[in-house]
RNA sequence: GCUCCCAUAGCGCAGUGGAUAGCGCGUCGGUCUUCUAAACCGUAGGUCGCAGGUUCGAAUCCUGCUGGGGGCACCA
């Protein structure tokens, strides 16, 4: 399938060169030519404003330039007319015959509709979710999960070979706390005298899931673990937690090819090698306080033991960061830098990392670390998704894994549907804060955009259920009307939306496009009937062919968003 | 205080420097004996937070300000 903006831009460029060669336009450098569908139908199907940009360099009035460009415009099978409008827009109209033929092209491409070659031969990695196995996935994590997986799908559709990766840490204080928490729940479930910490105890995980784990653990091991410390409990909880997380992700159609354990960076010695490299570069110093600290800070740090600091200020950070604590253990920063260095060494052409907005500072420090290692950080693209807040009964819910006050992704799916959750979390710019109004999502289920879009696919499927005895092979597409062509025009924009989403890593564009496409479809469905006594067999055949193409487009778009394309609702 | 994101219709949000700024919900009024009415048609609703600047042209780019949210631990 053609990417029409590009095709038109090529024509314009050829026309400008031709006009210059003929002496009808003066010499000037040709800028990047942008062509896109204008807002209003009377302004054509595609429009270029390049003549307006050229007025200055060419020292001519834009209308004249546009006229000359139009005059030299080469012919193309997809263009039927070129118009020039004041103050200097060049408007194209698609050739109706060509347009109608696209119905067959769409059906031929099928599930690979607008499969692009942007990333062919290239490897991309998308890292997302990356939650430590301390609790079920909550809503805050879910947004990054959906955005990450959707980006992966879009990259696949543009030809990339994509790996989805999940980075996690199963060591550290939080996991010890988790082990301890399960241990207490285990003893509690055995009826032993234990004191469960209060809700404000930050070392205890209060979630009910640990009660469940404790019961299962007793079923498996009885009371044989009574004398054990936190470790076997931590190991048990970790395995169980990952099972749950994977199952939850599967429910929303997400799976990761690689689970990368932070520990492996210690096992391989990578963490210390990175530290050594940073030290060699002169980016590390030992002190009880960062350089350039003010008097107040110095006073506070007077009694601290020395730690190792990364001089990230060299790269524009506002303060240096501790990489090795005074107790000799690295902070999260060091393995994080090692992890990203590892990613780069694995030779991906594109690295995408989905992070919550609260990790902004962290990713900056990691980036400075990569620079200090003299590695190319330009392949790393970080998508920061703004925080999600749950609104319930009109009030903001506090989310805290430790306190057990969690709105989990599972709850959300149970109360709505996997497709609805995906769409709601996807259909927003990542930069925009998202208030997930649970009451509205549940109550307005029938008006949720997800069903509006899926219903278009369902309606197509409904037609084919009723017409299994009619073949649409060899349909005469010239019988199709203007309404159907409005839809085909919109459908042909999918490739551009896809390319834009991939290049800019903005998957929400697909979500909005899907809704626009459905809103073009539904009115047509109402008026363009297949089974009606006043529709001739030939016309019915042509319309059937049209709906087959429409169904292909909706299925492709829904798949790109990781949603199902149901036959019935 | 430093920093990141946001501010567009009553509410929730799109908007890639171009032509008369859009969509959903909600308002009001219509449409099912015909392939799914989870739909369609019509209606009302705007100082694009404020003030400057750049440009032939600014919701979009720059500066400042105001308001809301996030981040600024030897936690991850």
**CATH, residue A19:** 3.30.1360.70
Q: Is the pLDDT of residue A406 over 60?
A: no
The reply to whether A305 and A206 lie within a common domain is no
Across the range A82-109, mean pLDDT stands at 96
Residue A214 lies in a domain: yes
Q: Is the pLDDT of residue A534 over 90?
A: no
User: Band of the pLDDT at A407, cuts 50, 70, 90?
Assistant: confident
Across the range A543-567, mean pLDDT stands at 97
Q: Pick out the nucleotide with least CA–C1' distance to A52.
A: B56
State the pLDDT at residue A172: 79
The reply to whether A227 and A294 lie within a common domain is no
State the pLDDT at residue A569: 87
Asked whether the beta carbons of A189 and A214 are under 8 A apart, the reply is yes
Q: Is the pLDDT of residue A350 over 80?
A: yes
Residue A133 lies in a domain: no
Q: Which of A71-85, A406-420, A537-551 has the lowest mean pLDDT?
A: A406-420
Residue A505 lies in a domain: yes
Which of A202, A226, A258 lies at the terminal end of a domain, its last residue? Answer: A258
State the pLDDT at residue A389: 83
Q: Is the pLDDT of residue A149 over 90?
A: yes
The reply to whether A546 and A452 lie within a common domain is yes
- Residues 204-263 on chain A lying near strand B, CB distance under 7 A: 262
Per the listing, tokens 């032993």 go with A192
Enumerate the nucleotides of strand B whose atoms come under 7 Å of any protein CB.
2-7, 12-16, 18-26, 34-41, 56-57, 68-76
The tokens describing A62, both together, are: 């834009």
Closest CA to A502 of A448, A553, A560, A452: A560
Closest CA to A437 of A451, A419, A420: A420
Across the range A445-449, mean pLDDT stands at 73
CA atoms within 13 A of residue A362's CA, in its CB half-sphere? 17
State the pLDDT at residue A333: 93
Stated in angstroms, how far is A49 CA from B17 C1'? Answer: 11
Which of A226, A258, A290 lies at the terminal end of a domain, its last residue? Answer: A258
Greater confidence (A361 vs A140) lies with: A361
**CATH, residue A537:** 1.10.730.10
**Which helix (H) or strand (E) is A308 found in, with range?**
strand A307-310
The reply to whether A375 and A263 lie within a common domain is yes
> What ipTM was predicted for this assembly?
0.96
Residue A181 lies in a domain: yes
Residue A68 lies in a domain: yes
Across the range A203-207, mean pLDDT stands at 87
- Say how many domains are in chain A: 4
Residue A89 lies in a domain: yes
In terms of DSSP bridges, do strands A307-310 and A321-324 run parallel, antiparallel, or are they unpaired?
antiparallel
User: Band of the pLDDT at A454, cuts 50, 70, 90?
Assistant: very high
Across the range A403-415, mean pLDDT stands at 75
The reply to whether A223 and A321 lie within a common domain is no
The reply to whether A471 and A536 lie within a common domain is yes
In terms of DSSP bridges, do strands A123-127 and A350-356 run parallel, antiparallel, or are they unpaired?
parallel
The reply to whether A176 and A286 lie within a common domain is no
Judge whether residue A461 contacts strand B, using its CB and a 7 Å cut-off: yes
Per the listing, tokens 């994977």 go with A246
State the pLDDT at residue A438: 75
The reply to whether A464 and A547 lie within a common domain is yes
Stated in angstroms, how far is A505 CA from B42 C1'? Answer: 39
Q: Pick out the nucleotide with least CA–C1' distance to A459.
A: B36
Closest CA to A312 of A362, A359, A354, A262: A362
Question: What does residue A406 show for φ and ψ, rounded to 5 degrees?
Answer: -125, 135
By residue range, what is the domain housing residue A309?
A: 259-383
| Each residue's pLDDT tens digit, A77-88 | 999 999 999 899
The reply to whether A345 and A453 lie within a common domain is no
**CATH, residue A316:** 3.40.50.620
| Each residue's pLDDT tens digit, A222-250 | 999 999 999 999 999 999 999 999 999 99
């Amino acid at each position: 399938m053609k990417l029409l903006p590009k095709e038109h831009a090529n024509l314009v460029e050829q026309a400008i060169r031709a006009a210059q060669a003929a002496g009808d336009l003066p010499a000037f450098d040709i800028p990047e030519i942008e062509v896109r569908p204008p807002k209003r139908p009377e302004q054509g199907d595609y429009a270029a404003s390049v003549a307006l940009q050229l007025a200055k360099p060419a020292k001519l009035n834009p209308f004249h330039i546009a006229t000359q460009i139009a005059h030299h415009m080469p012919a193309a099978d997809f263009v039927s007319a070129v118009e020039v409008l004041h103050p200097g827009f060049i408007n194209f109209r698609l050739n109706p015959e060509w347009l109608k033929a696209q119905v067959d092209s769409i059906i031929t491409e099928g599930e690979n509709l607008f499969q692009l070659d942007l990333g062919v031969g290239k490897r991309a990695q998308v890292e997302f979710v990356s939650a430590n196995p301390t609790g079920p996935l909550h809503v805050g994590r879910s947004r990054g999960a959906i955005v990450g997986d959707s980006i992966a799908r879009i990259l696949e559709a543009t030809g990339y070979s994509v790996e989805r990766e999940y980075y996690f840490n199963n060591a550290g204080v939080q996991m010890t706390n988790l082990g301890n928490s399960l241990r207490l729940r285990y003893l509690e479930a055995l009826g032993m005298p234990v004191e469960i910490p209060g809700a404000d105890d930050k070392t205890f995980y209060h979630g009910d899931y640990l009660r469940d784990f404790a019961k299962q653990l007793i079923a498996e091991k009885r009371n044989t673990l009574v004398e054990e410390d936190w470790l076997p409990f931590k190991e048990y909880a970790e395995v169980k937690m990952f099972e749950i997380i994977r199952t939850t992700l599967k429910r929303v159609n997400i799976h990761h090819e690689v689970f990368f354990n932070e520990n492996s960076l210690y096992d391989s010695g990578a963490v210390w090698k990175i530290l050594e490299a940073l030290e060699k570069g002169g980016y590390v110093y030992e002190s009880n306080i960062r350089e350039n600290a003010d008097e107040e800070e110095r006073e506070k740090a007077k009694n601290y033991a020395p730690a190792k600091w990364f001089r990230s200020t060299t790269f524009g950070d506002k303060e240096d960061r501790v990489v090795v604590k005074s107790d000799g253990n690295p902070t999260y920063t060091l393995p994080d830098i090692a992890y990203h260095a590892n990613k780069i060494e694995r030779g991906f052409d594109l690295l995408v990392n989905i992070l919550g907005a609260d990790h902004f500072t962290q990713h900056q420090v990691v980036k400075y670390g990569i620079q200090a290692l003299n590695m190319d950080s330009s392949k790393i693209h970080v998508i920061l998704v703004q925080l999600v807040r749950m609104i319930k009964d009109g009030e903001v819910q506090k989310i805290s894994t430790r306190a057990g006050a969690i709105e989990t992704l599972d709850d959300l799916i149970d109360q709505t549907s996997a497709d609805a959750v995906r769409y709601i979390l996807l259909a927003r710019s990542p930069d925009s804060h998202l208030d997930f109004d649970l009451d509205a999502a549940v109550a307005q289920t029938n008006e949720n955009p997800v069903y509006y879009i899926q219903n278009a696919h369902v309606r197509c499927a409904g037609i084919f259920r009723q017409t299994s005895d009619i073949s649409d092979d060899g349909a005469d597409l010239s019988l199709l009307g203007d309404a159907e062509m409005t839809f085909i025009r919109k459908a042909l924009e999918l490739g551009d939306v896809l390319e834009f989403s991939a290049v800019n890593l903005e998957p929400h564009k697909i979500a909005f496009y899907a809704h626009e496409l459905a809103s073009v479809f539904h009115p047509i469905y109402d008026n363009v009937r297949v089974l009606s006594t006043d529709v001739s067999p030939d016309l019915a055949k042509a319309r059937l062919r049209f709906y087959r193409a429409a169904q292909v487009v909706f299925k492709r778009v829904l798949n790109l968003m990781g949603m199902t394309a149901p036959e019935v609702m």
